[in-house]
Amino acid sequence: MLASATRLPRVASPYRPPMPLEDLHVLDYLELAGSQARAGAALAMHQSTVSRSLQLMQQEFRLEPERGSPVCRHGHNPCLQHLRLASREHRLMEGLLRIGTDVLHQSLLAGLAGVQRVPPRCRSGDHWAALVGHGLLDGAIVSAFSLPQPLPPGEELRWDGLRALPLGRLGLRLVAAPPGTRRVLLPPRGAAPLLHQAVVALGFVVEPQPVACQEPAAWVKRARDRGLALPLCPPLLGTDWLAANGLEPLAELPPLEEELWLLLPEVAVNTNPARQCLEGLRAVISQAHVAAATKAEVQR
């Protein structure tokens, strides 16, 4: 019933959804990637195959598109919700978590075992929570900069049915090709309101990156073409990457300190994939923090 005539090709990840869930797998990537072309690229399949899966799912599950909705814009109902939760359980059985994050934090997932990565997208904390709650994602890396207002000291980040597990803190640095620029390329304000606030407080002018251009290469190209700075964590990317792209930190600016959380469904927190992902992310962030502190000490 759910499986289309064209089966999913093998992609970089060894995970392969069971046959009845293949079209749902394609629909989820379409929702997360934002377009049929980007979903096809992420799944290594032709755009027409993505379109056929979408049409089949909308027909079989009587889905009504919700234009302009930040999540589930191709339709949602309780039947689809149960199917997505079943798909999540299958990934957990296979030792996998489908984790989402934005382009600024995508490198945190590089090299982590048991993680099914999806195309990076800049979203607000509430949007990440909705995607995890609906079952499109098994988890998400959420930055304090994506919240509508600062979290009061001692207060926990909360959404119904979800747990926000602290990962640690990162220091973002503004890097650019032209060292004297006073303009910074950022996600749309709705996706990172506190990051906009922090950058403006330093005396910079913000230019938002178009929502349709979320791939890392698109960010670097726009920054270079327009002479804009980017907020990055240099220890995560390495000096070779910065040099290859002609980028260097703007001098004499304090890092933009952010707190990070791994957002998970409460029912998945104590699973082995969740524990392994949490430990791996905390280790990567701790190493980046130590590297940044060491470099700052050397430069004094």
What was the pLDDT predicted at 92? 95
Q: How far apart are CA 118 and CA 102, in angstroms?
A: 10
What was the pLDDT predicted at 2? 31
Mean pLDDT (the chain) is 89
Q: How far apart are CA 117 and CA 110, in angstroms?
A: 9
Q: Which helix (H) or strand (E) holds 153?
A: none
What was the pLDDT predicted at 299? 59
Q: How far apart are CA 263 and CA 131, in angstroms?
A: 10
Domains (range + CATH), the chain: 12-94 (1.10.10.10), 96-300 (3.40.190.290)
| 250, 175 contact by CB (below 8 A) | yes
Instruction: Report, as ranges of residue numbers, the positions in the chain whose pLDDT lies below 70.
Output: 1-14, 293-300
Q: Give SS3 for 154.
A: coil
The reported pTM is 0.88
What was the pLDDT predicted at 35? 92
Task: Centre a 10 Å sphere on the Cβ of residue 153 and count the other Cβ atoms it contains.
Answer: 5
